[in-house]
A and B are shown apart, each in its own frame.
Chain A
Amino acid sequence: MPHFDQTLDVKGAKCPMPLVKSRKAITELPVGQVLQVISTDRGSVADFQGWAKTAKNVELIAQETVQENGQELYVHYLRRTA
């Protein structure tokens, strides 16, 4: 698990809300810090990758899938770069 500074819990939120909330949270994050996003939406894995390619001042550092109480969690790590 990479180092992170803040966590955004969007469990249960359906597309497009995980990304809408992440975009907002990243904007409020100090430059250089890392945001951990925890989602239950499987589609978020490919969508965060696609978004990070063109997103301004955002770097997708890592993604992981973990099990929690029999539920799959899709975890994204985003750094604010500028």
Chain B
Amino acid sequence: MTFTPEQSTVTEISPRDLYARLLSAQPLFILDVRNEEEFKRMPVEGHATLRTLNLPYFDFIEDEEAALARLPKDVEEFIVICAKGGASQYVAEVLNNHGYRAVSLSEGMIGWGNYYDVRDVVKADWGRIVQIARPARGDLSFAVISDGQAALVDPLRHIQVYRELIENAGARLTAILDTHVHADHISGGPALSKETGAPYYIHPYDAIHPIDMLPAVIAYEPLRDGQTFQIGQVRITTIWYPGHTLGQVNFLAETPDGGRYLFTGDGIFLRSFGRPDLGGKGEAWTPILYRSMFEWLPRHLTDDTVILPAHFSTLDEDAGNGIFAAPFAQVRAQNDSLQPRSLEEFTSYVLSHLPVFPPEYVEIKRVNIGLVEACEGKASELELGKNICALAG
């Protein structure tokens, strides 16, 4: 057959369409035509209703009939995806020519990996709390907007998303708050600070690279435990929560209607919690994490405090509407890792649930405090794959 991408009649779906379908929990079938290695490193994940088959596009080029014979017969529509959107178009056309219904994901995994989803967690007369998610990586960040002022919590690398959000809200960015210096992704905080002049806050303990023992060379304002920020009618209080990193903090946002929203960063997740070993000192930091989790933080928690973490591990954690949040009472009930344990039990639980330590996480922390520069190519390479900040389930 002859194939020219320009003349393709294949229907394309955008990353936005894909995400809507992944969230909907309808039956979906993804045909991933990348090579096996790339597929394994970062598949598209969804609810249990998602089925996925990896069948590289070159199998279709080599022997079309044999490849087609491997497709299940009970699929209504195939969503074909590849790295950049070219090979998926090719395979979707092969499928269409043989009577299968198939669509191609435009821009492939690159487009999916860089797709951001923006939606309100809460909107009231005092203002809004907005969740900005990068679903492919399981990364979550937030904006608090009230009376023309805005604060960002854990902004991600593609800062234009935040600038547009704040501009469209007619607000001015007054504080950029990182719950900690991240290891799994590059923070948008320093770049946003440079562009807008808004101060970038991190806890000073995180301004020292834990493995290199070298100090940050970026501009930042040091956070302290108990420090507050007034964003319009919303008060944000800093709560030191060492363990995942030594300078990890939580930010508690209190709204005039009595709402309490806790940005936990990589502290508590909805179904897990942040691992204490990414600084290279897991055994030494585990008792500190224990104290943060079971002694210090509970003083600030009420049953109705809404937990807003910086990551999710699976789409099943969403509240059914693309928002990854839940009241603390619900988190406590469904998150086995938060059940009361003695320090000894906790330590053995942690040490037996540590996932692999991705080697690039050491380098990402260097980038985040300015010890190393990363161009776009290097940055996207470092951020390949999903975050592995939580303990394994």
User: Is B5 on the interface with A (CB-CB < 8 A)?
Assistant: yes
Query: Given A20-B3, A55-B62, A56-B62, A14 and B86 touching (CB < 8 A)?
Result: yes
Q: What is the bound-complex CA distance between A43 and B39, given in angstroms?
A: 13
User: Is A47 on the interface with B (CB-CB < 8 A)?
Assistant: yes
CB distance from A38 to the nearest CB of B (A): 18
- Cβ–Cβ contact A54 & B87, under 8 A: no
- Cβ–Cβ contact A16 & B57, under 8 A: yes
In the complex, chain B residues whose CB is within 8 Å of the CB of A23: 61-62
B369-392 vs A, Cβ < 8 Å mask (1 yes, 0 no):
000000000000000000000000
Query: Given A46-B35, A47-B35, A54 and B83 touching (CB < 8 A)?
Result: no
- Cβ–Cβ contact A16 & B90, under 8 A: yes
Q: What is the bound-complex CA distance between A61 and B299, given in angstroms?
A: 65
The A-B contact count (CB < 8 A) is 52
In the complex, chain B residues whose CB is within 8 Å of the CB of A19: 57-58, 61
Query: Given A51-B56, A56-B62, A14 and B84 touching (CB < 8 A)?
Result: yes
Helix, strand, loop or mixed for chain B's interface? helix
Could you say which of A16, A46, A55 contacts B87, with CB atoms under 8 Å apart? A16
Q: What is the bound-complex CA distance between A49 and B56, given in angstroms?
A: 12
User: Is A12 on the interface with B (CB-CB < 8 A)?
Assistant: no
In the complex, chain A residues whose CB is within 8 Å of the CB of B90: 16, 20
- Cβ–Cβ contact A50 & B35, under 8 A: yes
Least CB separation from B36: chain A residue: A50
Q: What is the bound-complex CA distance between A46 and B90, given in angstroms?
A: 18
User: Is A15 on the interface with B (CB-CB < 8 A)?
Assistant: yes
In the complex, chain B residues whose CB is within 8 Å of the CB of A49: 35
CB distance from A16 to the nearest CB of B (A): 4
A9-32 vs B, Cβ < 8 Å mask (1 yes, 0 no):
000001111011001000000000
User: Is B82 on the interface with A (CB-CB < 8 A)?
Assistant: yes
In the complex, chain A residues whose CB is within 8 Å of the CB of B344: none
- Cβ–Cβ contact A46 & B58, under 8 A: no
Q: What is the bound-complex CA distance between A71 and B236, given in angstroms?
A: 50
User: Is B317 on the interface with A (CB-CB < 8 A)?
Assistant: no
Residues on B facing A (Cβ under 8 Å): 3, 5, 35-38, 56-59, 61-63, 82-84, 86-87, 90
Residues on A facing B (Cβ under 8 Å): 14-17, 19-20, 23, 43, 46-47, 49-51, 54-56
